[in-house]
Amino acid sequence: MNSTHKFTSKTLAVALLVALASTGTAMAQRTQGSPARSQQQAEAAAQVATDSANAARESAQSARDATATAAPGYGPSASQYASDAQDAANRAVNAAHDAHGAQDVATSGANPASGAAEAREAASAASGASLQAQQAAEAAVQAATPPAPAMPATPAVPAVGASAQQQVNVTSSPPNSTLSAKVDFDSLDADRDGNLSRTEVGTNSMLASNFGRIDADHNGRITRKELAGGM
């Protein structure tokens, strides 16, 4: 977050330096008849070039710092961008030197307007190189930083199936005591042994379908107590 803000601020500053440096031939024509104005323009252009060179040096340093602290495996890519940033910084410094040399020509030479124009061209070159250094530094920072891990997907909540719903319905069925009031135990107990077998309840669909649940001790027979809800 802080690195992004730093580079954004630097971008605006470099853009301003480029704008100041790009006065062009029209300015040279206006200053040709005024040596004092040409000298002022040359001085301003030299200052722009110096500021651009300083900004380029800062960008190159940021790129080197990013390479030094790169995550394992990310250093080589960041190092290449750092090298590009340093090359651009060197060009900015050289252009700044040219701008100051042109300022000397504007101040003490026979053609101040020509010196001012050369100073502006050098300042423009320094500003452009500074912008390239900043872009390479930003790329170095990004290359040195591994991407954030992807957030795990939230598992889907399984839908309640028909079998689960059926199970809930069975569990919530009324107790067996309600069956004893609906079933004629004696008429179903064909062998009169006091128990109802699966064969004996075959004619009663309600008992047949719930036989396993009513047969509490699972001995294959339903007693009167089991039918009433007890043992």
- Sorting pLDDT into bands at 50, 70 and 90, what band is 20? low
**Looking at the structure, do residues 6 and 76 belong to the same domain, yes or no?**
yes
Selected residue with higher pLDDT from 91 and 208? 91
DSSP string, 157-203: PPP--HHHHHHHHHHTSPPTHHHHTT--HHHH-TT-SSEEETTGGGG
| First-last CA distance in the chain | 73
Question: Residue 219: CB partners within 8 Å, gap ≥ 6?
Answer: none
141 alpha-carbon distance from chain centroid: 15
* Token pair in block for residue 185: 């135990």
pLDDT given for residue 147 in this prediction: 81
Q: How confident is the model at residue 120 (pLDDT cuts 50, 70, 90)?
A: very high
Distance of CA 25 to the CA centre of its chain: 46
Does residue 180 sit in the same domain as residue 112? no
Same domain, 24 and 88: yes
One domain for residues 44 and 97: yes
The H or E element spanning position 22 is none
Cα 145 from chain centroid (whole Å): 12
The answer to whether position 157 is within a domain reads: no
Phi-psi bin for 42: left (phi > 0), alpha (psi -120 to 50), beta? Answer: alpha
Q: Which residues span the domain enclosing 190?
A: 175-228
What's the total number of domains in the chain? 2
Q: Over range 31-39, report the average pLDDT.
A: 75
Residue 209 has pLDDT above 70, yes or no: yes
- As given in the structure block, the two tokens for residue 86 are 């340093």
Mean pLDDT is lowest, of 7-11, 193-197, 224-228, for: 7-11
Q: What is the pLDDT of residue 11?
A: 57
What's the CATH number where 207 sits?
1.10.238.10
Q: What confidence tens digit (pLDDT) does each residue in 57-77 have? A: 999 999 999 899 888 888 788
Residue 115 per-residue DSSP state: H
Q: What is the pLDDT of residue 211?
A: 87
Tokens of 214: 């009513």
